[in-house]
Structure 1
Amino acid sequence: MGEQRKGVVALAVACVVWGLSPLYYKLLAAVPPLEVLSHRTLWSLALFGLILLGQGRLREVPQLLRSHGGGVALAAVLISANWFLFILSVQIGLTVQASLGYYIFPLVAVLLGVLAFGERLNRWQGLAVSLAAAAVLVLTFGLGVAPWVALALATTFGLYGLIKKRLVAGPVVSVTAEVLVLAPLAVVWLAGVHGGLFSEFSRAGGWFGHSLGTSLLLAFSGVMTAGPLILFTYASQRVTMATVGLVQYLNPTLQFLCATLVFAEPFSRWHGIAFGLIWAALAIYSWQALVQDRAARSRNSRPGTSATAVK
Structure 2
Amino acid sequence: MKKGLWYAILAYTAWGLLPVYWKSFGTLLAGEILAHRVIWSFAFMAILLLVGRGKMEQLRKLFANRRTLLVVAASSILISSNWLIFIWAVNNGHVIETSIGYYITPLFNVMLAVLFLGEKPSRGQWLAIALAGAGVLVATIDYGRFPWVSLSLAASFGVYSLVKKKVSYEASIGLAGETAIVFPIAVAYIVYLHLTHHEAAWSLPPVSFVLLLLSGTATALPLLWFAKAAARLPLSMLGFIQYIGPSITLFLSVFVFKEKFSPVLFISFTLIWAALVVYALASMRMARTTAAAAAAASEAG
Correspondent of 2:265 among 247, 263, 271: 271
Match of residue 106 from structure 1: 106
Are the aligned partners of 2:101 and 2:154 in contact in 1 as well (CA < 8 Å)? yes
Q: For structure 1, which runs of at least 5 residues remain unmatched after alignment? A: 197-203
Q: CA deviation at 1:244?
A: 6.5
Question: Displacement, 1:217?
Answer: 2.2
State the match for 1:125 in structure 2: 125
**Change in 2 beyond 3 A, CA 1:75/1:133:** same
Instruction: Say if 2:222 is the partner of 1:224.
Output: no
The reply to whether residue 25 of structure 1 matches residue 19 of structure 2 is no
Name which of 34, 39, 54 aligns with 1:37. 34
Across the two proteins, how many residue pairs are aligned to each other? 296
- C-alpha distance in 1, partners of 2:141/2:15? 30
Match of 2:200 in 1: 207
In 2: Cα distance, 1:54 partner to 1:279 partner: 43
- Give how far 1:239 is off: 9.2
Q: C-alpha displacement at 1:161, in angstroms?
A: 1.1
Kept after mapping to 2: 8 A contact 1:107/1:128: no
- Cα–Cα, structure 1 residues 238 and 158, in superposed 2: closer, same or farther, change >3 Å? closer
One of 57, 80, 84 as aligned partner of 1:59: 57
Q: 1:132-155 CA distances to partner (integer Å, 9 max, x unpaired)?
A: 332333234333313322222121
CA separation in 2, counterparts of 1:241 and 1:21?
23
**Separation (CA, whole Å) in 2 of partners of 1:207 and 1:143:** 33
Mapped contact 1:245–1:286 kept (Cα < 8 A): no
Quote the residue 1:201 is aligned against: none
Pairwise CA distance, 1:77:
0.8
- Give the match for residue 47 of structure 2: 50
> Structure 1 residues 108, 243: CA separation in 2 closer, same or farther (over 3 Å shift)?
closer
Aligned residue number for residue 283 of structure 1: 277
- Give the distance between the partners of 1:299 and 1:29, measured in 2 at CA: 55
Match of 2:78 in 1: 78
Shift in alpha-carbon separation, 1:220–1:301, aligned structure 2, 3 A: farther
Amino acid at match of 2:50: L
The 1:233–1:302 alpha-carbon spacing in structure 2 relative to 1, beyond 3 Å, is: farther
CA distance in structure 1 between the aligned counterparts of 2:231 and 2:240, rounded to whole angstroms: 16
Q: After superposition, what is the alpha-carbon deviation per residue over 1:248-268, rounded to whole angstroms, capped at 9, x for unaligned?
A: 443222111111110011111
Rounded Cα–Cα distance in structure 1 between residues aligned with 2:171 and 2:252? 28
1:25 shift after superposition: 0.6
Displacement, 1:222? Answer: 0.5
1:190 aligned partner: 190
Aligned-pair identity in percent equals 35
Q: Which moved more, 1:243-252 or 1:175-184?
A: 243-252
Classify 1:33/1:298 alpha carbon distance in 2 versus 1 (closer, same or farther; 3 Å).
Answer: farther
> Relative to structure 1, is the Cα distance of residues 139 and 221 closer, same or farther in structure 2, using a 3 angstrom cutoff?
same
With normalisation by structure 1, the TM-score equals 0.83
Question: In structure 2, what residue type is equivalent to 1:224?
Answer: A
Match of 1:29, as an amino acid?
G
Letter in 2 for 1:37: L
SS in 1 for 2:201: coil
Query: In the alignment, which residue of structure 1 is the partner of 2:174?
Result: 174
Q: Distance in 2 between matches of 1:54 and 1:254?
A: 34
Q: Aligned pair in 2 of structure 1 residues 103, 181: CA closer, same or farther (>3 Å)?
A: same
Q: Is the 8 A contact 2:110 2:236 kept in 1?
A: no
Query: Over residues 248-294 of structure 1, what are the superposed CA-to-partner deviations in whole Å (9 max), with x where a residue is unaligned?
Result: 44322211111111001111123222222222222222222223333
Moved more, 27-36 or 6-15: 6-15
**Structure-2 separation of matches of 1:289 and 1:65:** 39
Separation (CA, whole Å) in 2 of partners of 1:116 and 1:239: 16
Structure 2: unaligned runs, 5 residues or longer? none
Which amino acid is 1:52 matched to?
Answer: L
Change (3 A) 1:28 1:162: same
Structure 2 CA distance for aligned equivalents of residues 216 and 39 of structure 1: 12
Q: Distance in 2 between matches of 1:239 and 1:143?
A: 33
Do structure 1's residue 149 and structure 2's residue 149 form an aligned pair?
Answer: yes
In structure 1, the residue corresponding to 2:93 is in which secondary structure? coil
SS in 2 for 1:178: helix
